[in-house]
Amino acid sequence: MQPAPDARLFAPDPHMAVSMRGLFKRFDEKVAVNGLSLDIPVGSFYGLVGPNGAGKTTTITMFTGMLVPDAGVATILGHDVWMDTARAKRLIGLMPQADEIFTTLTGMQLLVYAGMLRGMGRAEASARGNDLLAAFDLTESANVMVRDYSAGMTKKICLATAMIHSPRILVLDEPFEAVDPISSANIKDILVEYVATGGTVIISSHVMALVERMCTHVAVINRGQVVAAGPVDEVAAGEDLEERFLQLVGGRHGAARIAWLDGGANGEQSQDAQGGTQ
């Protein structure tokens, strides 16, 4: 089956941080992304939200050059992701997941390794590594193997590896998952400062309150397509973003009545009655 023609399929906007047109990806019989088009402005703090399986992560892996789409095009600051892959990737800092890094390296070794992969000399990578460790409150753990880091510390070192080459665009998939409130606040402050310098942050998240509070723009993705996109206030349309999200993607149903789930005295009485019949 070929992807359906997308009426919005036109040339990507070279002035956007990320511009996607008609992205399509199928895995066997499942269509993960179905003709998705979206523009992400330079200097925005952009949230990508959607239900599980909506296509957010597949979209991210395509526009960052990690996965080739079946159809469509994406550009990073005007550079085609698949025709000019090396240049496009240099402009992006993609935060790895915990299972995608070398946990038998120390925090400092991991940052130096990430910097040298980006073409830095060891001295520059070490200097930037020290700056990042200090910014993320990881200096005391610089020589500790990452496998011994807590979940929050691991998130921070993963983010630091994405930032070491000073990218124009940061792409973060669930950056606050399993992160304690103090670490979360620290990460937020660093990201807000990065955007203030002209950088672009793109985050995928399930936490609507966080997106509403931090992001300037949001795109709601459902079934592989964008169902709403723009400044957060416009997408929310005067409502709480989470409520608006539920309206857009559907799926909410009435509270199920489970006969045996009784938080009152009736449940205890029922158990006593059953005990008496044994």
For residue 275, is it within any domain? no
Alpha-carbon torsion 221, 72, 199, 173, what sign? positive
Q: How many CA atoms lie within 13 A of 185 on its CB side?
A: 2
Q: What pLDDT was estimated at residue 275?
A: 64
Given this model, what pLDDT does residue 261 score? 81
Structural domain contains residue 73:
yes
- Number of helices followed by number of strands (H, E) in the chain: 10, 10
Q: What's the pLDDT score for residue 3?
A: 46
In a domain, 274, yes or no: no
pLDDT at residue 149, rounded to an integer: 95
Strand order in the sheet with 18-27: 30-40, 18-27, 71-76, 79-80
Instruction: Give dist(CA 94, CA 238) in Å, integer.
Output: 33
pLDDT in the model for residue 103: 94
| pLDDT of res. 84 | 92
Q: Is there a domain that residue 212 lies in?
A: yes
Assigned token pair, 96: 């790895």
Number of domains in the chain: 1
Q: State which residues form the domain around 180.
A: 10-248
Report the candidate in 42, 68, 36, 80 with the shortest Cα–Cα distance to residue 55. Answer: 36
Task: Return the ∠ at Cα 217 (arms to 216 and 220), rounded to 5°.
Answer: 145
The pLDDT assigned to 2 comes to 44
Within 13 Å and on the Cβ side, how many CA atoms surround 180?
A: 7
- Is residue 250 packed enough to be buried (19+ CB in 10 Å), middle (13-18) or exposed (0-12)? exposed
Which residues touch 95 (CB under 8 Å, ≥6 apart)? 158, 159, 161, 162, 170, 171, 172, 173, 175
Q: Does 259 fall in a domain?
A: no
Residue 167 lies in a domain: yes
Distance CA 95, CA 155 (A): 9
Determine how many CB atoms are found less than 10 A away from the CB of residue 106.
18
Decide: 245 and 208 in contact? Cβ < 8 Å.
yes
Q: What is the CATH number of the domain that holds 152?
A: 3.40.50.300
Write out the two tokens for 187. 């990460």
Q: Which long-range contacts (CB under 8 A, 24 or more apart) does 126-134 make?
A: 128/164, 129/160, 129/164, 132/160, 132/163, 132/164, 133/107, 133/108, 133/160
pLDDT in tens, the chain (278 residues): 444 444 445 889 999 999 999 999 999 999 999 999 999 999 999 999 999 889 999 999 999 999 999 999 999 999 999 999 999 999 999 999 889 999 999 999 999 999 999 999 999 999 999 999 999 999 999 999 999 999 889 999 999 999 999 999 999 988 887 778 888 888 889 999 999 999 999 999 888 888 999 999 999 999 999 999 999 999 999 999 999 999 998 866 666 678 788 777 665 666 666 666 55
